[in-house]
């Protein structure tokens, strides 16, 4: 009974912190479900993509590839690897914070996203709430928001007629806003400008259809190279 009360306390403590994620995932997940429905995929497929893949940006990138009929597994694998490479650094930085949480770490790692990372890396559980339960509640709440929103979008997309033109730009718009927010801070402008330069070079060399993977490789190489120079 005491353990059950503790988990309820963890849920009450975690939920307010995840409300901003709920609003963001609600809109983006709904749009993703609608996009999958427009591509001819039922709500089961969009829900499974979110539940199993759970990679918002990559799911948006995969939606037109699945609908085009020219699905290339190798291309999707490389694209997924580069787009989600940031999770390698997320995971490494969370090793100490997730230390001692037992088998719960497997679920915490699986449900780690950008927004979840921003919360669990900065928030500490209130007094009387275990770290494991607090982190699990945050992670599972965010995970459930995304899966539920995509399921709802898939159902609505199959029941109602929607004009989905422009919905694929939802995630791009989000990252554009995040980029502008980061650009306001002078210390972030060098890396931001470097990213723009790498993207522009890839666009000029490889064209709009094949720029993503080369741009990500260039950005990663440039950032790692710059970091190495600072160590010398």
Q: Which of 40-44, 69-73, 125-129, 150-154 has the highest mean pLDDT?
A: 150-154
pLDDT at 42 over 60: yes
Both 107 and 200 in a single domain?
A: no
On whether the CB atoms of residues 113 and 54 are closer than 8 A, the answer is yes
Give pTM, 2 decimals.
0.74
Domain boundary among 166, 194, 219: 166
- 39 assigned to some structural domain: yes
pLDDT at 99 over 50: yes
Both 221 and 109 in a single domain?
A: no
Both 116 and 64 in a single domain?
A: yes
Q: Residues 6 or more apart from 33 whose CB is under 8 A from it?
A: 43, 46, 47, 149, 150, 151, 152, 153, 154, 155, 156, 157
Confidence bin at 148 (pLDDT 50/70/90): very high
Q: Hey, CA dihedral for 116, 108, 131, 97, is it positive or negative? A: negative
What is the C-alpha R_g of the chain?
19
- 98 assigned to some structural domain: yes
Query: d(Cα 193, Cα 210) in Å, to the nearest integer?
Result: 21
pLDDT at 2: 46
pLDDT at 218 over 60: yes
pLDDT at 1: 40
pLDDT at 174 over 70: no
Query: d(Cα 35, Cα 51) in Å, to the nearest integer?
Result: 17
Residue with tokens 């160590």: 231
How confident is the prediction for the chain on average, in pLDDT?
80
Both 196 and 160 in a single domain?
A: no
Which residue range forms the structural domain that includes residue 110? 2-166
Domain boundary among 166, 195, 221: 166
Confidence bin at 167 (pLDDT 50/70/90): low
- 180 assigned to some structural domain: no
- 171 assigned to some structural domain: no
- 173 assigned to some structural domain: no
Q: How many domains does the chain have?
A: 2
């Amino acid at each position: 009974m005491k353990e059950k009360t503790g988990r309820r306390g963890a849920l009450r403590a975690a939920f307010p912190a995840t409300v901003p994620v709920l609003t963001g995932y609600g809109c983006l997940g709904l749009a993703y479900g609608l996009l999958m429905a427009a591509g001819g995929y039922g709500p089961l497929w969009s829900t499974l993509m979110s539940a199993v893949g759970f990679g918002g940006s990559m799911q948006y990138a995969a939606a037109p590839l699945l609908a085009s009929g020219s699905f290339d597994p190798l291309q999707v694998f490389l694209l997924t690897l580069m787009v989600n490479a940031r999770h390698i650094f997320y995971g490494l930085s969370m090793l100490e914070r997730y230390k001692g949480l037992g088998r719960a770490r497997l679920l915490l790692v699986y449900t780690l996203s950008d927004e979840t990372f921003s919360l669990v890396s900065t928030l500490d559980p209130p007094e009387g709430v275990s770290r494991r339960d607090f982190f699990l509640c945050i992670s599972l709440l965010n995970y459930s928001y995304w899966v539920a929103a995509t399921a709802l979008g898939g159902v609505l997309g199959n029941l109602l007629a929607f004009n989905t033109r422009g919905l694929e730009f939802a995630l791009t718009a989000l990252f554009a806003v995040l980029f502008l927010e980061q650009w306001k801070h002078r210390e972030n402008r060098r890396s931001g400008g470097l990213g723009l330069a790498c993207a522009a070079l890839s666009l000029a060399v490889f064209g709009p259809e094949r720029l993503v993977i080369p741009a990500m490789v260039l950005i990663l190489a440039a950032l790692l190279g710059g970091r190495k120079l600072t160590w010398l």
